[in-house]
Structure 1
């Protein structure tokens, strides 16, 4: 389902992979996200911090949605893109729908992650994986990005090892 991505898109997605690796190294799930404006300038970034903080809602996507909602005006939010290593969970999808961020580009889908975790015998998610557009239908969504899926797959596989 990938559409044509620009070199800027790919640069931000590669940064998401770096942030996901940092999260994994710190004992968190391998997720990383970057918020960029319409011109492609990175405005903010974050990584998963749910285990290191003890807060299961400390997902980078929700952090960026909250930041955008409080720091950017409506027009800038509408032109902004969130790049992320994995498709948003329903909580983060809802945050993006409410924040008015216009576009999301993700590397691996929730369906892919669910299939991987099932294959590894890893635990199920506490929430049903839903496509972003089922939760936030007005957000433009691009993904999965097949060129980078194997890299995030490897990080998730490392996270699933006992």
Structure 2
């Protein structure tokens, strides 16, 4: 796995990614895993936002999966493909698949699967029950951009806090 930046991140991308990090912080403060995401239409309007809600046992309650569910119910196929999903952490395999199946457009992420895997290994966190795959391995047709180096330390600190790691 190697990080790549297929498209340069814009100032607008960074505004949306910062909101995702705020949502991740809200999740952590509520006792959940620190992930947050939002869906933005071509006009720049945030259509949907959410954070992780897995603490009660439903491991599918990722914000990226909720975006796919919401978009499938509320947007036309054309609106979905023209929208951009922003997220604090690159989609997992489940969320990447859901994103592709409902025909959502570009994904922009603050931190990558590769970064998360490296932090987990460094902190000796037990592996996830699924393979940590980059979006392109699961949904090769979905355009992606990220990571955002200027947000990496902040996201890493949220994950460290989740696991009780002192940085």
Is this a same-fold pair by TM over 0.5?
yes
The question of whether the paired residues in 2 share the 8 Å contact of 1:50 and 1:56 is answered with yes
Q: Secondary structure at the match of 1:12?
A: helix
Aligned mates of 1:39, 1:6 — CA distance in 2? 15
Higher helix share: 1
Query: Are 1:80 and 2:83 an aligned pair?
Result: yes
TM-score normalised to the size of structure 1?
Answer: 0.96
Aligned mates of 1:8, 1:111 — CA distance in 2? 24
Query: Are 1:12 and 2:41 an aligned pair?
Result: no
Give the unaligned 5+ runs of structure 1.
none
Poorly superposed stretches of 4+, deviation over 4 Å:
none
Alpha-carbon offset, residue 144 of structure 1: 0.9
Counterpart in the other structure of 2:161? 158
Aligned mates of 2:113, 2:10 — CA distance in 1? 23
TM-score normalised to the size of structure 2?
Answer: 0.93
Give the unaligned 5+ runs of structure 2.
none
Alpha-carbon offset, residue 5 of structure 1: 2.1
Aligned mates of 1:84, 1:19 — CA distance in 2? 9
Aligned mates of 1:62, 1:144 — CA distance in 2? 20
Q: Secondary structure at the match of 1:50?
A: coil
RMSD: 1.1
